[in-house]
Structure 1
Amino acid sequence: MSAHNGDGPGALHHLLREAAAAHPHRTAVVDGARTLTYAELDAWSDRLAARLLASGVGRGDRVGLHLDKSAEAVAGIHGVLKAGACYVPLDPQAPLARLRGIAEDCAVSALLTGPRRGGGASPDDLPGLKAVLDLTDDPADTGELLPGPVDTGVGPDDLAYILYTSGSTGRPKGVTLTHGNGLAFVRWAVAEFGLGHEDRMSSHAPLHFDLSILDVFGAAAAAAALVLVPARASAFPVELAQFVREAGLTVWYSVPSVLTLLLRQAGLEADPFPGLRLVLFAGEVFPTPQLRRLMTLMPGARLVNLYGPTETNVCTWYEVAQPPVTDEPVPIGRALPGVAAVVVTDGGGIATEPGESGELLISGPTVMRGYWNDPVRTEQVLVPTPVGAAGADGGPSAYRTGDLVRLGADGNLVFLGRRDHQVKTRGYRVELTEIEAALHAHPAVVECAVVAVPDELVTNRLVACVVAAEGTTGLALSKACRDRLPRYMIPDRFELVDALPRTSTDKTDRRALVERFS
């Protein structure tokens, strides 16, 4: 790797440039029957960068990416960055009103689109748009030659991408992340997991979800093949299992619910994916009984729990070296090098002793710049780094995650739940994830989510939504909770469902459950 990957200046698209120089003929992207080499991806993204620059897009401008995940989309990401701009992935399945709101919020100056977007309408009539580029109209196909390598001189402090996440107010939050933010995480991951040009890495997460950062840029950093997981395979577990095998994947990265679905519906037997050496999961708690089963089936694979809100990239990690003995959730582990993970107690002090708990604050090079066009909300979550926060590599600000954690005796952090998942019922403060952990201990439970439904009499009623083996009853689930929890934490209702609703990033859609059972 060149100086761009060391301590000097660098940008995310330099990873592609270096891979193309060192391994021009290696496979960069696999998109169904199509493959691109690193030389081809580098050249294509240069042409796109030149088209954007010719359209008036400048350094720091925002460019919307309204495409299904595809070779075009990957080339588009690198092309936007080479043009010195910032890419804003738009969920092709989202309603047009939401897409327009996001595009208007960050004032996108250009839109990249194509025929393989989600089939819905496109926000391509926005005021101020300098260009709408259809990425299937590649000048290389018509013989038009454009300038060679494009370099606009952006560096670590320049904005690279904005990821919009759901806001508690109903208005999406634009999380702004720099080239340096992305590189700090990607460099660590490539080194820690030994990613190399022989690897074939899954690309399962949608591009508007932060798991995609490791997929797209980790593959480029390692000159590995990025294998795009087809949407159809994601929807059908048997097909997904077949795809993992036939695509020869060596690295998998997704939310735990996808792996749980494979375990539940794909008929997996011992060593189902012999080529898979590394399984990374993030985004939500992995039910421990399901994790244990997966590790039993795949004794040769390395399994790692990655933790981090979109605002921090991945900031802590925990390698699950052995199948868990108990049903307690596995830790979220320790901070990445150069990152400080500080636990602030309710009294405002820093937790230092095992067993102490509080809100997790993260500081260091992976932490976002702030929320786009929202200084008030930015000021609420980016606070001065607490005095005594050892381990942070620069950065005066710490991000308040809103996550509650406990210091373990071995120094690992244990996730307790969200501050906003702490609810009041009958005068008691209840942590919903604690109830979920009790339910997951029942052998028949595959997945569950406990939600609080507002009720005038008791403030909130607790509803447990459970996916369980056939024949399971609410009575049995209630007993499982009574065996582990105080009476006030026993759910008022147990709803047996075929599947939990998912958001566009495959996380459990708790809001939908509240609406359904209110």
Structure 2
Amino acid sequence: MTELVETQNLAMPGLIAGFRNSVERFPARPALFVDGDYLTYDSLGKLVHKLAATILELDHNQNPLVAVLAHRSLTAYASVLAIQSTGKGYVPLNPKMPVERLVKMLRQSECEVLTAGREALQTLEGLLPRVERRLTILLPDLADEATLSCAFPHHRFITSDRMSHGSRDLAIPCVSPDAVAYLLFTSGSTGEPKGVPVSQSNVKSYVQYVCDKYQVNEHDRFSQMFDMTFDLSVHDMFVCWERGGCLYSVPEKSVMAPAKFIKDHQLTMWFSVPSVVGFMSKMGMLTAGALSSLRFSLFCGDPLPAPYAGLWRPQSRSPASDGTPATHLRCA
């Protein structure tokens, strides 16, 4: 009981506060570009609040975690924001992962509510027969759950037409600094995958530091290439939305050769693995001024060879970063 009181006294606005402030300050500005379409902060905010209100209405056991089975789609991004809006943490599940691994992640996280994108339906159908716990599954991309309900009567399905029409004035949640912002799983190469919780205070401190260091503002346009099962996606999303920037989900066809996408959308903030530089160089894409819109470029996941930095640097207006681990980004 003593620990509970201390936690309550330390309550702070959750990570979602940055996005919510941007909705209020920049309602007409673009917040997200995904699958060829733009969503303004106002439009994305409405979808997020609808999802958040639905989660709160359905989660009677007040589980602190909600799973997201989606991959760089509107549902994926909106779900992450919605879960943060409820004061809960999200558990990203990549639909491209083996089903058995997803089952283990769900079991360990003890999630009872899951959101799923249209792109993950085939994976979902393979996953549900292996899940003993009754799940409540939100399907914002579907209007009819009849087929799934008949096939999997043990689970509950909530489609778009049955989602909440709750107020957009949902309060910004106050959370403990130690509350879980998201739960990632290790690769499991030496055994069972192990969940690694990341706290609200850690993420908020990182986001504020990066925003100040790189003077992020509402005119910035961020790349988004990393799957949500990697820490680096947190940088993309929350640094961008903290200050009213626009997040650009790079299409799969452009992930390894993004020069045209960067130029067409005039991206200002880039973040990827270093191998992208090598591939673009071999394809002759690093021509003079090709990346001139970029203010800052970050590379992570592998070491960044000096020759790669030399190839990238003349094409953009700022130096690239080195290849330090995902939790320690440094800009040279």
Which range, TM-score by smaller chain? 0.7 to 0.9
For residues 267 and 60 of structure 2, the distance between their equivalents in structure 1, rounded to whole angstroms, comes to 37
For residues 138 and 160 of structure 2, the distance between their equivalents in structure 1, rounded to whole angstroms, comes to 15
Aligned to 1:307: 324
For residues 193 and 261 of structure 2, the distance between their equivalents in structure 1, rounded to whole angstroms, comes to 34
For residues 266 and 204 of structure 1, the distance between their equivalents in structure 2, rounded to whole angstroms, comes to 21
Match status 1:148 vs 2:168? yes
Q: 1:111 aligns with which of 110, 114, 130?
A: 114
Match status 1:160 vs 2:199? no
Aligned to 2:43: 40
Number of residue pairs the alignment of both structures matches:
305
Aligned to 1:251: 269
Say whether the 8 Å CA contact 1:306–1:318 is kept in structure 2.
Answer: no
Match status 1:290 vs 2:308? yes
Say whether the 8 Å CA contact 2:292–2:315 is kept in structure 1.
Answer: no
**Cα deviation digits, residues 74-132 of structure 1 (max 9, x gap):** 11001111122211111111111111111111111111102123853453352334410
For residues 131 and 143 of structure 1, the distance between their equivalents in structure 2, rounded to whole angstroms, comes to 12
Aligned to 2:244: 223
Is the partner of 1:30 in helix, strand or coil?
Answer: strand
Aligned to 1:398: none
For residues 57 and 301 of structure 1, the distance between their equivalents in structure 2, rounded to whole angstroms, comes to 50
Alignment CA distance shift 1:144-1:88 (3 Å): closer
Structure 1 residue 34: deviation in Å? 1.6
Q: 1:134 aligns with which of 119, 139, 157?
A: 139
- Work out which of the two has the higher radius of gyration on C-alpha atoms and give 1 or 2: 1
Aligned to 2:201: 180
Structure 2 residue identity aligned to 1:292: G
Say whether the 8 Å CA contact 1:203–1:226 is kept in structure 2.
Answer: yes
Structure 1 residue identity aligned to 2:247: L
Structure 1 residue 149: deviation in Å? 2.9
**Cα deviation digits, residues 456-476 of structure 1 (max 9, x gap):** xxxxxxxxxxxxxxxxxxxxx
Say whether the 8 Å CA contact 1:56–1:130 is kept in structure 2.
Answer: no
Aligned to 1:449: none
Structure number with greater CO (CA < 8 Å, separation at least 6) is: 2
Alignment CA distance shift 1:132-1:118 (3 Å): closer
Alignment CA distance shift 1:146-1:262 (3 Å): same
For residues 83 and 102 of structure 2, the distance between their equivalents in structure 1, rounded to whole angstroms, comes to 19
**Cα deviation digits, residues 383-422 of structure 1 (max 9, x gap):** xxxxxxxxxxxxxxxxxxxxxxxxxxxxxxxxxxxxxxxx
**Cα deviation digits, residues 444-497 of structure 1 (max 9, x gap):** xxxxxxxxxxxxxxxxxxxxxxxxxxxxxxxxxxxxxxxxxxxxxxxxxxxxxx
**Cα deviation digits, residues 174-227 of structure 1 (max 9, x gap):** 110011111111111111011110011001111111110111101111110001
Alignment CA distance shift 1:220-1:58 (3 Å): farther
Is the partner of 2:90 in helix, strand or coil?
Answer: strand
Is the partner of 2:55 in helix, strand or coil?
Answer: helix
For residues 217 and 312 of structure 2, the distance between their equivalents in structure 1, rounded to whole angstroms, comes to 25
Alignment CA distance shift 1:130-1:177 (3 Å): same
Aligned to 1:11: 14
Identity %: 26
Q: 2:128 aligns with which of 124, 128, 134?
A: 124
Say whether the 8 Å CA contact 2:312–2:320 is kept in structure 1.
Answer: no
**Cα deviation digits, residues 222-262 of structure 1 (max 9, x gap):** 11000101112215x2xx22111112211100111122222
Q: 1:265 aligns with which of 260, 273, 283?
A: 283
Is the partner of 2:181 in helix, strand or coil?
Answer: strand
Match status 1:317 vs 2:321? no
Say whether the 8 Å CA contact 1:159–1:179 is kept in structure 2.
Answer: yes
For residues 97 and 266 of structure 1, the distance between their equivalents in structure 2, rounded to whole angstroms, comes to 41
Alignment CA distance shift 1:47-1:280 (3 Å): same
5 Å matches for 1:417-428?
none
Q: 2:259 aligns with which of 238, 241, 244?
A: 241
Structure 1 residue 157: deviation in Å? 2.1
Aligned to 1:208: 229
For residues 306 and 42 of structure 1, the distance between their equivalents in structure 2, rounded to whole angstroms, comes to 35
Structure 1 residue 156: deviation in Å? 2.5
Structure 2: tracts of 5 or more residues without a match: 1-9, 144-158
Say whether the 8 Å CA contact 1:60–1:159 is kept in structure 2.
Answer: no
| TM-score, normalization by structure 2 | 0.84
Is the partner of 2:12 in helix, strand or coil?
Answer: coil
Alignment CA distance shift 1:79-1:306 (3 Å): farther
5 Å matches for 1:379-458?
none
Structure 1 residue 263: deviation in Å? 1.9
Is the partner of 1:280 in helix, strand or coil?
Answer: strand
Say whether the 8 Å CA contact 1:68–1:118 is kept in structure 2.
Answer: no
| TM-score, normalization by structure 1 | 0.55
For residues 105 and 209 of structure 2, the distance between their equivalents in structure 1, rounded to whole angstroms, comes to 31
Structure 2 residue identity aligned to 1:146: G
